[in-house]
Structure 1
Amino acid sequence: MKFRILAPLLKTFFIINLVAFSAYTHAVPSFARQTGLECAACHVGAFGPQLTPHGMHFKLGGYTETDGKEGKIPVAAMLVEGFTHTNKSLTEDAQPHFGKNDNLSLQELSIFLAGRMTDHIGTFIQVTGNDFDQRFGMDNMDIRFADSKPISGKNLTYGISINNNPTIQDPFNTLSGWIFPYMASELAPGPEASPFINGALEQQVIGVSAYGFYDDHFYAELGGYKTLSRSIRNKLNVGEDGRLDGIAPYWRLTYFNDMTEQNFRVGLFGMSSRLQPEFMSGPTDNYRDIGVDAAYQYMGTKEHIFTISTSYINERRTLNNAFDGGGASHLHGTLKRFDLAGSYTYKNTYGVTAAVFDIRGNQDDTLYNNGEADSGSINGSPNSRGYILQADWTPWGKENSWGAPFANMRLGIQYTGYTKFNGAKNDYDGLGRDAKDNNTTFIFAWFAI
């Protein structure tokens, strides 16, 4: 049965069970059920993925914190329904089975194995389907072993993460795997260029990293990633964007300070990758990404919560394969990305967020001209910049809310505006399409049980 035929039945079943279980049997998002805590204990705004200090420690501890009660099943589910409108209709359908504009879609339908397996092992494993691919496939995975011990009178939390998406394992949930916007439309055009670490390898690799968090201040992590085989990727329904030549090392250093009513952190991170775009031996395209990030949270009494986070990535690349094959005009180049987001949340229920982003790099007339009218560039520039505004309402997820803490929902409206898109403000594709034509309004309903 086609996924699009099955989707309405799944959506109806999901929503019925959401209401029924919330009111009667208290089926819950698995982490909340396991700990007995409200969603707001771990998440700003009572909904993921933005973490409070408690949520950060829960992740560092391997998802194993519990209220001591037995019989908890670490299974959860999520559904996201969205409506997408762009200022100007696309010249082609946004996706197969959809139109050029004003599309209603089942953006995500996910099942999770998420929670405590043993005293020291926990999981976050997600399988997702949607209206676009019309199939289920492997999504994010993070399997952890964690423990702690005293050293010189200070606590050390240490562990190992096995994951399939660089930065998804980050305990602060503010790098590219979790960066705002936490939910965005899959049916709207997006900038063609972004640093390699920002999602180029997601779900196509397997990685192992070791980490330590000392004295509740100092975090360090070191690991590496290797491409999954083509046959495994086909079985998992994930992408095939070439393969890594050997191991791609990843590292992270952060200083964190929690002062109860407020906290801040500053960190460094990086990754070095050698990619073979085809599954053949030969020259590689090499990417070296180094970034800096920082964040501040004012928690207060949790009535008024303010957050601000930012990151900057500098990527240096040597495109041996693309240059030799005529896919790039220059052997060497750089790409830089800056993100800044600030949010205000009232009583963990009403939230507003404003963000800006800026992507810029060296001009390459071949690399950045893919011939697609809605996303291609005629000027050879990767530069894009814009802003994102979002307002959302999360009525559940608090200790005294309806169904607490066993059901959750977020309703939101998001607007993305572009002041430059793929190198230009006006006529970036040579067919009269301007950056502002891609401005997008996205309305979403996000459910979790």
Structure 2
Amino acid sequence: MIASKNPYTGETIEKFEELSKEQIDEVLENAQQRYKLWRKTSMGERAEFMKNAAEELKANKEEYARDITLEMGKPISQSISEIEKCAWVCEYYAKHAEEHLADRLVDTDAQKSYVSYEPIGVVLAVMPWNYPFWQVFRFAAPALMAGNIGVLKHASNVMRSANNIQKVFERAGFPKYCFQNMTVGSDKIDDVIKDKRIKAVTLTGSKPAGAAVASTAGSEIKKSVLELGGSNALVVFDNANMDAAIDTCIQARFQNTGQSCIAGKRLIIHENIAEEFTKNYVEKVKELKSGDPMNEDTFIGTMARVDLAEDLEKQIKSSVDAGAKILIGGERDGAYMQPTVLGGVTKEMSMFKEETFGPAIGITRFKTAEEAIELVNSSDFGLGVSIFTEDMDFAKDIIPEFEDGAVFVNELVKSDPRLPFGGTKISGYGRELSLDGIQEFVNKKTVYIK
């Protein structure tokens, strides 16, 4: 059995029976048979189903959001926002998938030559708990619109949400088996990837999980896309709008109780403004309301599991032992971790080198732009970086110096259906969303007619 527990109360919400080997085979066979029909549907038909999915999400967002909050502790207002964003990605691909996958004409010596973008089959998605709906929908919407079939292996602590996602597509009228949730543990994934009916796999998760999935997919010569961890830097130059930068840096670090791969996790401030910025930042952190995630005014909920809070506590302690100072927070109670800010963090400390997955951030000072760039690029991660400055010419000049997959100026790094999303280095490879995302899992077929 796979148990879903409420991290705020510690109570078991629901238990789910894990699928047997025979049941897994049935899921994959149903998916394969559905693909043979689904791939022949028109873009117009698919778009209507996807619009229905968007309407279903909006009509029942409170129902779906409630289960997100119960299962992983996200504040309810943020859970509702997550459902609304899923509706957005469905609407985006319903509108733009056809143009994203239109034949690309190429001028050659043929009578006609072009590239077509055709579906590849059943795609496995291995997804995490921190954004249990959004992470899945940003895969599922483009995959289904491309004519593929989705099979989901979700994190074990959000199985109710996983079933709800399948329910969304069923309520939207998608033909049966277009999208299926598999209630299985991680130990079953290797065999599923090797199954000949699975044509590709996408994973959002940790480096070890990504390495394991990529290794198996590679051994089978199957496409994989990995969106892994991040240690995004928030770089504040001395000519930044301080009040706006502080507000953005608060959101970047502490939304979703800091449990996000694209959260700002390293606050790097120019020494000229570091003292004032830090003082005002800490005051803003004090105002963040912690409490029951089901309360609408709660901003900091509980972390998703006790062991995750314990890991964060160890990183904080390690950095303090190495010389960092706790400016606020630092205390843990079960799965709840106080919003925490550390000063005097250097690049050798845990809070700088490692991914910190929770409501804690370290502050590091810099003197020059060159030093700031070196601090950002010294990370093994490369998901994204935010820079804060009022000098747009300066910003444009230094953007190419960063090695990350995204650079946001005066804004937190965020995923947007209109823009490709993905990282470099150990943050993964491949892209999700926009044109790039829908073209990850297609056969780019060259056609030459003489």
Greater helix share, 1 or 2?
Answer: 2
Compute the TM-score of the two structures, normalised by the length of structure 1: 0.25
Higher-RCO chain (CA-CA 8 Å, sequence separation at least 6) = 2
Please give the TM-score of this superposition, normalised by the length of structure 2: 0.24
Higher strand proportion, which one? 1
